[in-house]
């Protein structure tokens, strides 16, 4: 078969094409190899099985449980301290650390612990604004030494049995904590008398004192638990958190609220 010039050219073109194609192909493979080798192997895609999402339950709003152990009922410095005829202050000679003069009307010196004093100022102002009339402090903080002379005076004139009915023994009075106050109206009437409960001031306090952290400590129907006759004038500062909870639960005495034994009388 005669080899023509044209045939030779055609063959050369074909060979060139193959060669060029080989070079391109080869370098591409090499490049691909270079890219693959040494680069971190990409994680194989994890196939997550499709799960029907659990609907998040709508939380039912529940009020946080009141913590009855949040403060001590034994430490005399605690605003929750429970003092009664079975629970004297410890020590009996206890004196509060932060007694201040309460800037309110008073028939006797108005001195209480700072938190109780501030709350009393706010309560008196609120009562007046509400139309209940003006109030004043009849008796507030009484130090141990004062209670000693008051109690001994009653014992001397009435005997121990009768003295215990109307005056707390030294170390057993809420007034010694600096958190208790006896309130009377301005102008003065029904001072330290049951009729205070029928005055506009007495009625307003009975209904609203809890809003200011105060508790009507000796209600008429709780004498056997508190150990004291009805004293509509005697209020005890316990803080707004506790007074609000007691109001909400409808519990009237600290003894019942904290599950303490009734304290009708001193231990024999
Ligand atoms: Zn009192």
Helix 114-129 with 200-208: angle, nearest 10 deg = 120
Question: How many domains does the chain contain in total?
Answer: 2
> CA-CA distance, 89 to 177, in Å (whole number)?
8
112 found inside a domain: yes
| Residues 154 and 245 grouped into a single domain | yes
Contact 128, 141 (CB under 8 A): no
Structure tokens that stand for 3 in this block: 């080899």
Q: Which helix (H) or strand (E) holds 141?
A: none
Ligand 1 center–CA 162 separation, angstroms: 17
**Do 13 and 104 share a domain, yes or no?**
no
How do residues 141-188 score in pLDDT, each as one tens digit? 999 999 999 999 999 999 998 888 778 999 999 999 999 999 999 999
- What are the φ/ψ torsions at residue 138 (nearest 5 degrees)? -90, -40
Residues 6+ apart with CB under 8 A from 150: 142, 167
Least Cα distance to 182 among 202, 203, 157 occurs for 202
Low-confidence stretches of the chain (pLDDT beneath 70): 1-53
106 and 19 co-located in one domain: no
Q: Are residues 23 and 136 in the same domain?
A: no
Distance in Å, CA 37 to ligand 1 centroid: 91
Measured at the alpha carbon of residue 194, what is the angle toward residues 189 and 199, in degrees to the nearest 5? 50
In a domain, 45, yes or no: no
26 and 109 in a single domain? The answer is no
Which CATH number goes with the domain that contains 111?
A: 3.30.1380.10
Ligand 1: distance of its center to the CA of 146 in Å? 14
Give the whole-angstrom CA distance, residue 123 versus residue 209. 7
Predicted local confidence at residue 44, as pLDDT: 58
Residue 176, CB-side half-sphere exposure with 13 Å CA sphere: 27
Question: What is the domain range of residue 7?
Answer: 1-31
Residues contacting 201, CB < 8 A, separation 6+: 127, 132, 133, 134, 135, 183, 184, 185
Q: Of 259, 180, 256, which is closest to residue 213 (Cα–Cα)?
A: 180
Same domain, 119 and 238: yes
Let me know if residue 106 belongs to a domain: yes
Q: How many CB atoms lie within 10 A of CB 26?
A: 10
- The answer to whether residue 231 is catalytic is yes
Q: What pLDDT, on a 0 to 100 scale, did the predictor assign at position 59? A: 74
Closest listed residue to residue 96, CA positions, set 28, 178, 30, 20: 178
- Structure tokens of 122? 């706010």
Catalytic residue from among 6, 174, 229, 231: 231
Report DSSP letters for 47-76, one per residue.
Answer: -PPP-PPPPPPPPPP-PPPP-TTSS-SSST
CA of 247 to the centre of ligand 1 (A): 21
Q: Are residues 23 and 151 in the same domain?
A: no
Is residue 47 included in any domain, yes or no? no
Q: What is the pLDDT of residue 26?
A: 42
* Protein residues with C-beta less than 5 angstroms from the ion ligand 1: 182, 234
Residue 126 lies in a domain: yes
Tokens of 128: 């007046």
Please list the helix, strand and coil fractions of the chain in percent, rounded to the nearest 5, in that order.
Answer: 40, 10, 45
Task: Examine the domain organization and report whether 16 and 139 are in the same domain.
Answer: no
Residue 15 and residue 111 in one domain? no
Cα(236) to ligand 1 centroid in Å equals 8
Q: What pLDDT was estimated at residue 30?
A: 39
Residue 38, domain member (yes or no): no
Residue 151 placed within a domain: yes
Q: Are residues 237 and 117 in the same domain?
A: yes
Closest to 80 (Cα-Cα) out of 243, 197, 222, 229:
243
How much distance in Å is there from the Cα of 180 to the middle of ligand 1?
A: 6
> What spacing in Å lies between the alpha carbon of 13 and ligand 1's midpoint?
122
64 CA to middle of ligand 1, Å?
33
User: Residue 240 Cα, ligand 1 centroid: separation in angstroms?
Assistant: 20
Residues 110 and 238 in one domain: yes
Q: Looking at the structure, do residues 15 and 125 belong to the same domain, yes or no?
A: no
Q: What is the pTM (predicted TM-score) of this model?
A: 0.77
CB 239 within 8 A of CB 211: no
* Residue 56 belongs to some domain of the structure: no
């Amino acid at each position: 078969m005669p080899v023509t010039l044209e045939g030779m050219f055609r063959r050369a073109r074909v060979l060139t094409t193959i060669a060029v194609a080989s070079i391109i192909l080869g370098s591409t493979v090499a490049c691909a190899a270079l890219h693959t080798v040494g680069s971190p192997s990409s994680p194989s895609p994890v196939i997550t099985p499709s799960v029907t999402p659990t609907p998040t339950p709508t939380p039912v709003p529940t009020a946080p449980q009141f913590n009855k152990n949040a403060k001590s009922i034994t430490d005399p410095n605690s605003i929750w301290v429970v003092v009664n005829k079975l629970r004297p202050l410890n020590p009996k000679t206890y004196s509060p650390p932060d007694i201040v003069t309460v800037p309110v009307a008073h028939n006797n010196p108005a001195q209480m612990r700072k938190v109780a004093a501030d709350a009393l100022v706010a309560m008196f102002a609120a009562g007046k604004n509400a139309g209940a009339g003006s109030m004043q402090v009849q008796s507030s903080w009484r130090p141990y030494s004062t209670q000693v002379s008051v109690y001994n005076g009653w014992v001397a004139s009435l005997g121990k049995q009768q003295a215990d009915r109307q005056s707390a023994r030294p170390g057993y009075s809420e007034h010694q904590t600096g958190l208790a106050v006896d309130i009377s109206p301005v102008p003065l009437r029904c001072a330290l008398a049951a009729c205070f409960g029928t005055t506009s001031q007495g009625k307003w306090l009975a209904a609203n004192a809890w809003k200011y952290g105060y508790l009507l400590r000796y209600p008429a129907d709780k004498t056997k638990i508190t150990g004291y006759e009805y004293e509509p004038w005697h209020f005890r500062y316990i803080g707004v958190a506790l007074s609000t909870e007691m109001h909400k639960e409808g519990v009237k005495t600290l003894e019942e609220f904290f599950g303490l034994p009734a304290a009708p009388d001193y231990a024999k």
